[in-house]
Homo-oligomer: A and B are copies of this chain.
């Protein structure tokens, strides 16, 4: 592979891999059954806490953290995006692994925001328990009543009133809000409708238990509730928090969202690559172990060609994500804007297709919950919308392409 991880990362990759195989994979099916048959699926299974403790003891904890920056040294020396990428891929093979390693969205993104943009006080209050895994968090941005693909549409309000912020409105797809440990909401709201369109919104830290915050319902994504984390529709009615809960300052929400994007999308995409690899592995397993019309399934019709196409698609996607990680590391988000959108378009679609192929090879089993394929498929599908729909990202890529063409054409004159 052309994007070699550092020696430190290689060691971590090997240890994450071993942990996955010895500690997580053997119990995963059991855990899903436990959730399914629990009286209350929203009550986290104790098994998770045990595994988290083991992972932490093994030094496989908060691996998502970026390299230390001045002032943040005490939160640890993290990995570059390129070094973390193969770890994210491994964790993507399992639906619970990201939680076990404290590397799951949206907590990772929220922790990054606090790390980069939080005050010392904010870090102490929220970042530290998140890094400890003692609390969880949600990100409240998307709204049910407007096309949220255009983030300037957001109309929930964050009005500054003296030394308080008053919050009103309704958000949905607030992932993680169903978990009993969720204590922090990062809320994005409209503060100054007359400002420049990218300076109207503010991000505010809202304790989950502030009066006026109400989880109206938990939403199924393609019929799955993803218990015990869940995706919530949350109403905010005259919610008041101190102005010191504002992140960076009024009107700076887009700036923060921007900084949160790059690494988060690399993580999502690498996890999807792990998931696609898992699906391909299951396809090979099923295809070689079942027989129809006198042949192993894999030897029927176009099945081998589909396996080849899956291998090509996964490899291309992985390389594009690694390249994006490399650009983020070497040139920052500004040098990777198009690539971040490219992976966001390419990888979920690729994963959806590979998983669809694997489901098809599993027959009815592929639709059931005897295999992780149905859940894998819906995860990939949902990611064609989460963090911006494909179409918006294609727009970004085309805009950059056009600008780059026009500037080169100008220069050539």
Binding site for B on A (CB under 8 A): 1-3, 142, 144, 146-150, 153, 172-173, 219-224, 280-281, 284-285, 288, 290-293, 297-298, 300-309, 311-312, 315-317, 319-320, 322-323, 326, 338-339, 341-342, 345-346, 356, 359-360, 363-369, 374-375, 377-378, 381-382, 384-386, 389-391, 393-399, 401-402, 405-406, 409
CB nearest to A412 among chain B residues? B21
Complex-state Cα separation, A33 to B305, whole angstroms: 38
**Residue from A303, A341, A391 with most neighbouring chain B CB atoms (10 Å):** A391
A48 nearest CB across to chain B (Å): 21
A360 to B396, CA, bound (A): 17
Q: Is the CB of A395 within 8 A of B301?
A: yes
A360 to B389, CA, bound (A): 7
**Which of the residues B312, B396, B397, B409 comes within 8 Å of A346, measured between beta carbons?**
B312
6 tightest A-B CB contacts, nearest first:
A302-B302, A223-B223, A150-B292, A319-B319, A304-B398, A308-B397
- Asked whether B223 lies within 8 Å of A378 as measured between CB atoms, the reply is yes
Q: Which residue of B lies closest to A390 (CB)?
A: B360
Contacts of A364 in B (CB 8 A): 142, 144, 148, 172-173, 219, 385-386
Q: Known: A288-B402, A316-B317, A402-B284. Is A301-B394 also a contact (CB below 8 A)?
A: yes
The residue of chain B having its C-beta at the shortest distance from the C-beta of A339 within the complex is B315
A206 to chain B, nearest CB (A): 20
User: Do A220 and B326 form a contact, CB below 8 Å, given A398-B304, A401-B311, A409-B285?
Assistant: no
Kindly state the separation between the CA atoms of A241 and B401 in the bound complex, as whole angstroms. 49
A301-B172 in contact given A292-B147, A402-B307 (Cβ < 8 Å): no
Q: Which of B2, B285, B326, B367 contacts A385, CB < 8 Å?
A: B367
Q: Which B residues are CB-close (under 8 A) to A402? A: 284, 288, 298, 304, 307
What chain B residues lie within 8 Å of A293 (beta carbons)?
Answer: 150
Name the B residues within 8 Å of A284 (CB-CB): 401-402, 405
Do B3 and A397 have beta carbons less than 8 Å apart?
A: no
Known A-B contacts A2-B2, A2-B3, A288-B406; the reply to A308 vs B401 at CB < 8 A is yes
A304: chain B residues at CB < 8 Å are 301, 394-395, 398-399, 402
Contacts A304-B402, A360-B389 known; list 20 others, CB within 8 Å. Answer: A2-B323, A142-B364, A147-B297, A148-B363, A148-B364, A172-B364, A219-B369, A220-B374, A222-B374, A222-B378, A281-B405, A284-B402, A288-B406, A301-B395, A302-B306, A304-B394, A311-B338, A311-B401, A312-B320, A367-B385
Given contacts A320-B316, A360-B391, contact A144 B385 (CB under 8 A): no
Minimum C-beta distance from A1 to chain B (A): 7
Nearest residue, chain B, Cβ from A364: B173
A291 touches which of B147, B223, B300 (Cβ 8 Å): B147
- Expressed in whole angstroms, the minimum distance between the Cβ of A9 and any Cβ of chain B is 15
A409–B282 CA distance with the chains assembled, in angstroms = 11
30 A-B residue pairs with CB within 8 Å: A1-B323, A2-B322, A146-B290, A146-B291, A147-B363, A149-B292, A149-B363, A153-B291, A219-B369, A221-B374, A222-B367, A223-B223, A223-B374, A223-B375, A284-B401, A301-B304, A302-B391, A304-B395, A305-B391, A305-B395, A307-B401, A308-B345, A308-B398, A309-B345, A311-B342, A311-B398, A319-B320, A356-B381, A360-B384, A367-B382
- Which residues of chain B are near A219, meaning CB under 8 Å? 364, 367-369
A223-B375, A301-B395, A342-B315 are contacts. A385–B401 as well, Cβ < 8 Å?
no
For the complex, what is the distance from the CA of A11 to the CA of B319, rounded to whole Å?
25
The docked-state distance in angstroms from the alpha carbon of A315 to that of B149 is: 25
A108: min CB distance to chain B, Å? 20
Q: In angstroms, how far is the closest chain B Cβ from the Cβ of A312?
A: 5
B292 touches A395 (CB 8 A): no
